[in-house]
A and B are shown apart, each in its own frame.
Chain A
């Protein structure tokens, strides 16, 4: 074996909070790599600021640091830990950039830390587009004509040389950040300014357009002896012009001949060698001209990536694990193929199935944001569908999106939506084919390869046959083989999906389960990694009887993300520790839960009743867990129970008590808890008639919402009218609008607890920084609470436990409460693990998920050492920070409200609240300027309360500016303030001053639609320039505390303590 013995202690940098373009795929990669390195007996030091990851669980590495991913913090960790090596290729662009920074500043040399996997030369070669083009020239590869732009003026000249449309690619940004396509000089001028700003090196590659070319991606690996393998080749359904993260992609590639493909493979190998990647994984993107076959290179990344995670799931080849082993000196032939256990890892997986990945978007969360896809990534999650044929995999992927049970419902055709790439386009393509538009026509408009369109056309043609003919068993089987859901078949046949299911049962038309085995059956494989297919018989036996199923959380979306995968994975591990056989079902390829060795059996399947029912039919589980995967499994639970599988933990009744607003209010009244006054309104007239009993302000929301969708604070009658008018499609007698009293200014808290049959434990109480009105997922939080009185906190815990008892919870309960004038109100109960659980687990050291599993398995108090867990004993302070994607949606407002908009969270740990707060801001990529000008734009009622803040800032050495009214008020009270014009008062105004970079940060409070619109430009300018903009009163105080801590310049780091498990 050629493991390098001098490597003993390895530092791994994670990718930080989830943002668009860098999501939980890096938790998957990092966790896998840590595990592999720990198995090798190495010490592994992990740094990541994201608490919602499995990789930051204390037992994943030797020591886990939840600290800001900033060079100075890393230096401190390096100084304390003295690792001999650093693997920078596992934490996305964040880790690569940091490693480069640590190298350039001499930190790595100072502490004798080697870079493994990619050295600075490699990172530069792949990231610096000019260097990269030099390499392409050397190996004779072609690339689109382009020029590096460093100034606006030069940019304009370059545009003239290359002609429109133009593609902008800023250097060193992730997910194509700041890039895009400019069709006209006007667009270009705006975009080049932004792109120059986004690039940390102020360099933007401006490229001639290859819009409409076919796009491919090769996932490759190389070891130190030069062995080169292509793990997976991926073809994009969408033509060039759409970021590959936003494209529908298919593996293996479908439309290249062997000669074309092998030439691409050869070129990839040459590029990798020339770039100098010594060991590890990389991806290389190519484009080919649809007619001439001319090939160009788009880019390469010398690290694991979103697509390498997809490739791993698509093929069974664990890229991150192998990259880690290669980095410490192994060669590919020395590493066994985990799946077959008989062949080595130097091979290229052979697939006897097809996978389709479809991204999931969140445009609806950002009013004003245009649903148009470009070279800048905008999707927040993705699903993967596996089938024997492209059609089956595609249809399964569409259903996995959880948008619609039918997959393709009948929709009105919209020519505009067909013409421009957008999140809904594939629905439009399908509908157009249904309505008889030809493949040639659609291919001309969309540039999607005719092969894909032909496949879809066969589906729509088949729909016609299905509609016309009697539903004989053969026809039904044929429909299922095309991947059509029972719901879709039902609609086409004017029947319910239940009727289709009974028809299938009558004729015994069931899917069988096939293995993903890396080798198309060439070698025997015992790894139970399955997908369903209606093509033919079972080729494998069930490995064991009576497992427990954990239902995952499906595609990441705003409101249901990595936190729930954390719960699932933790839950699976806990179940396995109790010697249960565990089955994981999920459709999200980015996750740790879909790693083939997380559970005993993995099913890569859509999370629908139909698909789960079929899995259950085969494996006959003793029960399923719906508490871990967020709202998706909770919604599925009733139907699955009705179909005969026991739900483990809290019963359907408990779920219903929590979910049904009416019943929930009833038990709260019964227990004499305060709840906000509320009523339900099926329409505006009811709302207007009853509003008086609650009184403004109120908070309105339609029934059945996730992540606060369409939830708004309504201040007066005209806003109420406007609300009902805008959301009328979602309000009806069946789904009435819930109107709650809005507890203005109340302090909100989250409680996560676990109840067993004779025991209960509160994991922690998280106090929100922002007052009621901001979605709990979007507000910062702190544990232990800093403002809550001790007796109130105690009362909160007592109430929570009473409620859990009353609801007969077994397992998890998450509660949201509000405190106003020392009165505790119960807002909401979720009978499941929650978004806040991973943070609470790490902040309080209480292994809530493991305890939840113990509760579900019926463990009693005497089985557990509950006295080990007491969140009150926590001696550090932890603050949860949040990260927003506003930068990606240039027309969206950054104001917070009851609808969740954040994509990720960070955690700051410290000895004091200030230190934790500082770290949380830093980890959320919010700057803490130590000096400069602070600009205030305030609503009337805050002008007085902000006086003290302004005075404090002055004392801290900042200068103050404000809009005229505020400035006069401040000056009157003895605070020297520079008055700036509002936007509509002429120029230069406050926005000009922000955009010229003269403002350090902004405090902007606002209320009411008109003033929100008036101050939009202020917030937008802050986002575009990365200037902190604080929009909530309570957040201002928190920011001040963080600033003070930052000014103190003290820098402490600490690792998470190990926690004993129940």
Chain B
């Protein structure tokens, strides 16, 4: 018997689809509802900690086509609270994406009007919502309301929830490279992979690590990773980062970029429906280049609030929001999008080289 699945938004809209996972209560979840326009890379997206507490609607209709491969995971688990697509491949294969989602307990719905959801999110912003199975939308609404209310009680500092809670040290692949401290806000694996390729050693610290613990490691540079949620709710990290400004090179990506801005005394704001996809054009004013970038963020930095030494070097060409800033004087770089890609285009990977060169400069 095919079960109906419902996406219920806190604002009252419901969308019906086909419930693809077992009809068990443990599969019903709430989260912030967001849409992503990438054509492929569903696995990387689902395992990206920045999607913590989010239900992801894929606008590309055919998902799961090429099966599942855990080696492309961007962290150790699936973070999303729900996966919605028009069609999800479900034929006998060795390993399917659907099986993976079932195993991870992620509510999954197909045959939903994903375009209608995307248009709703585009025009009305990204609300909370829940994925439930039900007989009809009235029943779904009742179930969803409770889930959403409960979910909203969670800790506001999502970064803390997505971050490692223990320090971890990894050997790098470049013996001549720098020692890098990584402040983990919910790091994507590929940031660490890119750093490992270039570093002598990495040490990854939990998000609320105080500055002195990091200082004790005597790093050549500080990497602030991506992560979920509202940057203004992140505790400790802005103060920690402040201690390093002007002392060692700092490189922030996504949430890291936003926390860096806060540490500099700048402000952030919530975007109407965020940027999530693999086709966002960015103009790099320093190199006079335009990159196609992978993006996933719901907040952005107010450029005019940045300190004088910070230059807005990169701009999102779709809506002209700040996509990156840089201070030559104090050697910090914030990048709003994902130069580490996975999923998405690789064009901005060179920014890791830039960061590493800065650190090497400082060491000499």
Contacts and interface: CB of A to CB of B under 8 A. Distances in A.
Interface of A: 225-230, 233, 252-259, 261-262, 265-266, 269, 331-333, 342-344, 346-354, 388-390, 451, 454, 458, 514, 519-524, 535-537, 539
A346 B113 contact: no
Nearest to A252: B39
A258 B40 contact: yes
Contact of B60 (A229, A233, A266, A350): A350
Given A227-B289, A344-B317, A520-B118, A349 B61 contact: no
A354 B61 contact: yes
B292 A333 contact: no
Nearest to A478: B111
Contact of A333 (B37, B115, B290, B341): B290
Contact of B72 (A227, A259, A343, A348): A259
A262 to B, nearest CB: 6
A173 B280 CA distance: 38
B364 to A, nearest CB: 31
Nearest to A261: B40
Contacts of A353: 61
Contact of B290 (A225, A233, A390, A535): A225
B345 interface: yes
A333 B281 contact: yes
B115 A252 contact: no
A347 B281 contact: yes
Contacts of B281: 332-333, 344, 346-347
Contacts of B91: 454, 458
B174 to A, nearest CB: 21
Nearest to B342: A258
A451 B89 CA distance: 9
A470 B85 CA distance: 29
Given A227-B289, A257-B69, A343-B317, A519 B115 contact: no
A256 B66 contact: yes
A535 B113 contact: yes
Interface string B51-69: 0000000011110011001
B289 A348 contact: no
Contacts of A454: 89, 91
Contacts of A524: 122-123
B24 interface: no
6 contacts: A228-B292, A258-B72, A258-B342, A262-B345, A331-B290, A519-B37
A871 to B, nearest CB: 52
A521 B122 contact: yes
B344 A539 contact: no
B318 A343 contact: yes
Given A258-B343, A343-B318, A389-B62, A348 B278 contact: yes
Contacts of B343: 258, 262
B351 interface: no
Looking at B89, B292, B343, the one whose CB has the most chain A CB atoms below 10 A away is B292
A351 B344 contact: no
B37 A254 contact: no
Contacts of B347: 228, 269
A350 B318 contact: no
Contact of A257 (B62, B72, B87, B280): B72
A451 B113 CA distance: 23
A266 B61 contact: no
A458 B280 CA distance: 35
A258 B46 CA distance: 13
Given A258-B344, A262-B341, A333-B283, A350 B39 contact: yes
Interface of B: 35, 37-41, 44, 59-62, 65-66, 69, 72, 86-87, 89, 91, 111, 113-116, 118-119, 122-123, 277-281, 283, 288-290, 292, 317-318, 341-347
Contacts of B116: 536-537, 539
B86 A520 contact: no
Contact of A389 (B87, B122, B277, B341): B87
A506 to B, nearest CB: 22
Contacts of B283: 333
A536 B113 contact: yes
Given A225-B288, A265-B345, A454-B91, A523 B59 contact: no
Contacts of A352: 37, 59-61, 86, 114-115, 118
A521 B59 contact: yes
A218 B305 CA distance: 42
Contacts of A332: 281, 290
A347 B288 contact: no
Contacts of A226: 289
In the complex, the 7 A-B pairs of residues with the closest C-beta atoms, listed nearest first: A258-B41, A536-B113, A350-B37, A520-B59, A258-B343, A348-B279, A227-B290
Contact of B280 (A342, A347, A351, A535): A347
Contacts of B118: 352, 520-522
A351 B119 contact: no
Looking at B66, B288, B346, the one whose CB has the most chain A CB atoms below 10 A away is B66
A451 B87 CA distance: 13
B279 A351 contact: no
Nearest to A454: B91
Contacts of A269: 347
Contacts of B346: 262, 265-266
A351 B60 contact: yes
A347 B292 contact: yes
A126 B174 CA distance: 38
A568 B34 CA distance: 43
Contacts of B37: 350, 352, 519-520, 522
Nearest to B15: A536
B115 A514 contact: yes
A103 B281 CA distance: 37
A516 B91 CA distance: 29
Given A262-B345, A354-B62, A523 B72 contact: no
Contacts of A537: 113, 116
Given A333-B317, A352-B118, A257 B66 contact: yes
A229 B114 CA distance: 26
A833 to B, nearest CB: 38
Contacts of A253: 39-40
A539 to B, nearest CB: 5
A331 B288 CA distance: 12
A256 to B, nearest CB: 7
Nearest to A229: B292
Contacts of A228: 292, 347
A923 B358 CA distance: 63
Looking at B44, B115, B346, the one whose CB has the most chain A CB atoms below 10 A away is B115
B292 A348 contact: yes
Contacts of A514: 115
A355 to B, nearest CB: 12
Contact of A262 (B61, B122, B344): B344
A351 B66 CA distance: 18
Contacts of A230: 292
A1036 to B, nearest CB: 58
Contacts of A519: 37
Contacts of A388: 61, 86
B66 A536 contact: no
Contacts of B111: 535
A351 to B, nearest CB: 7
Given A225-B290, A256-B66, A522-B37, 10 more contacts: A253-B39, A258-B342, A265-B345, A344-B281, A346-B292, A519-B37, A521-B119, A522-B59, A524-B122, A539-B119
Contacts of B289: 225-227
A514 B122 CA distance: 16
A451 B344 CA distance: 23
B40 A523 contact: no
B86 A389 contact: yes
A454 B3 CA distance: 23
Nearest to B92: A454
Nearest to A474: B2
Contacts of B345: 262, 265, 348
A349 B290 contact: no
